[in-house]
Amino acid sequence: MAMGLVAGFLTTVSFIPQLIKGFRTGKMDDVSISMPVLLSLGMGLWMLYGIGVDSIPVIIWNAVGLSLNVIMIGLKVHYGRRSHPSK
C-alpha cells in the first residue's frame, strides 16, 4: 500500500514538470499529442481496474494523472493552434 502510494506519487507528479515547461515556454511542438491522449484513455481504464481490485492507490493516482494529461492535451491543442500549422 505505502509503496503503491509512493509509486503513484512519482508517476503522477511526473507530468507536472511537463505542464510547467509547456506553460512557461508556450511551446509543445516536440510533444506528441498521442502520448497524453493514450495516457488519458489508459488511466481512465486503470481507475476502473483499481475499483475492481479494490486498490486505493491505483484509483487515486490514476484519477489525478488523468486530470493532468487532459490539461496536457489542452496545452498541446492551444499552443498548436496559436503557432504555425505543423504538418
CA-to-CA distance for 22 and 10, rounded, in angstroms?
19
Helix (H) or strand (E) holding 83: none
Applying the rule CB under 8 A, the residues between 26 and 55 that interact with a copy of itself are 27-32, 34-39, 41-46, 48-49, 52-53, 55
**Smallest distance, Å, CB 43 to a copy of itself?**
6
Under rule CB under 8 A, residue 12 binds a copy of itself: yes
User: SS3 of 78, please?
Assistant: helix
DSSP per position, 8-76: HHHHHHTHHHHHHHHHHH---TTS-THHHHHHHHHHHHHHHHHHHTT-HHHHHHHHHHHHHHHHHHHHH
In the complex, what is the shortest distance from the CB of residue 47 to a copy of itself, in angstroms, rounded to a whole number?
8
> Under the criterion CB under 8 A, does residue 56 sit at the interface with a copy of itself?
no
Q: Is 81 a residue that touches a copy of itself (CB under 8 A)?
A: no
Residues of this chain that bind a copy of itself (CB under 8 A): 3-4, 6-15, 17-18, 20-22, 25, 27-32, 34-39, 41-46, 48-49, 52-53, 55, 57-58
